[in-house]
Amino acid sequence: MDIRKILEKVDDIKKNPKKFILNLIILFLLGVFIILVVDTYKSIKMTDKKRKEERSVIEVSTTTYAPQLPYEEKLKKELIDILMQIDGVGRVNAMIYFEGGSISVPAYNENNSTRKIEEKDNQGGTRTTTENSKSLNVVIVNEGSGNKPLIVKQVNPTIGGVIVVAEGAKNPVVKEQIINAVKTCLNIPASKVSVLPMKN
């Protein structure tokens, strides 16, 4: 553009300022409208993305948190299953005595702070006080059903003794095999294992 055209435009604005202001207002409103449309489009896209993420979290949580047998029941079932595979044992039932129960150890956030205060008196003496504080907070995670502590370690109960009742326990060789299998599986001494014949 050359200078003459610019000067002509300035003269037009001076002659008709209302038209110029109206054009500016329309241009401003058009800009605001475009910004609103783009912002609405972005928020709709983000909402769809969040819904997809929530669906995937729900799918993961339903597969991850399938009901499981407690440790004690699972151990008993596995012991009976393995003993039934020994030749000559026949039908088997077992009881495992546990000392105490399972202990869940949660994760903690540990916050330590130290504050040092130094005071001077009028006679030139100095007194230093050190204040230490420590706080432990259990780490909480949000699961589908609510908030739960984050468990970092599960301590299983100690086995106090085992009683096994088996059809083949009348045979001393089979009885010894059962005792050895229980000792090995549960890592306990023979003194904590009792094997008895099953009644007919």
Residue 107 near residue 150 (C-beta atoms within 8 A): yes
**pLDDT at position 84:** 92
Domain boundaries, the chain: 3-64, 71-102+156-197, 107-149
Q: For the chain, what is the HEC assignment? A: CCHHHHHHHHHHHHHCHHHHHHHHHHHHHHHHHHHHHHHHHHHHHHHHHHHHHHHHHHHHHHHHCCCCCCHHHHHHHHHHHHHHCCCCCCCEEEEEEEECCCEEEECEEEEEEEEEEEEECCCCCEEEEEEEEEEEEECEEEECCEEEECEEEEECCEEEEEEEEEHHHHCHHHHHHHHHHHHHHHCCCHHHEEEEECCC
Q: State pLDDT tens for residues 134-155.
A: 888 888 888 777 888 888 888 8
| Beta bridge mates, 130 | 116
Q: State pLDDT tens for residues 6-48.
A: 777 767 777 777 777 777 788 788 888 888 888 887 777 777 6
As a whole number, mean pLDDT of residues 65-70 equals 57
- In the chain, pLDDT over 90 holds for what percent of residues? 30
* pTM, 2 dp: 0.50
Quickly name the fold that domain 71-102+156-197 has.
GMP Synthetase; Chain A, domain 3 (3.30.300)
Residue 190 near residue 161 (C-beta atoms within 8 A): no
Selected residue with higher pLDDT from 2 and 179: 179
Q: State pLDDT tens for residues 119-132.
A: 888 887 888 888 88
Structure tokens given for 111 = 């916050």
Rounded CA-CA distance 145/61 in Å is 10
| Beta bridge mates, 115 | 131
Residue 139 near residue 106 (C-beta atoms within 8 A): yes
pLDDT of residue 64 exceeding 50, the answer is: no
Q: What are phi and psi of 85, to 5 degrees?
A: -85, -10
Rounded CA-CA distance 8/118 in Å is 78
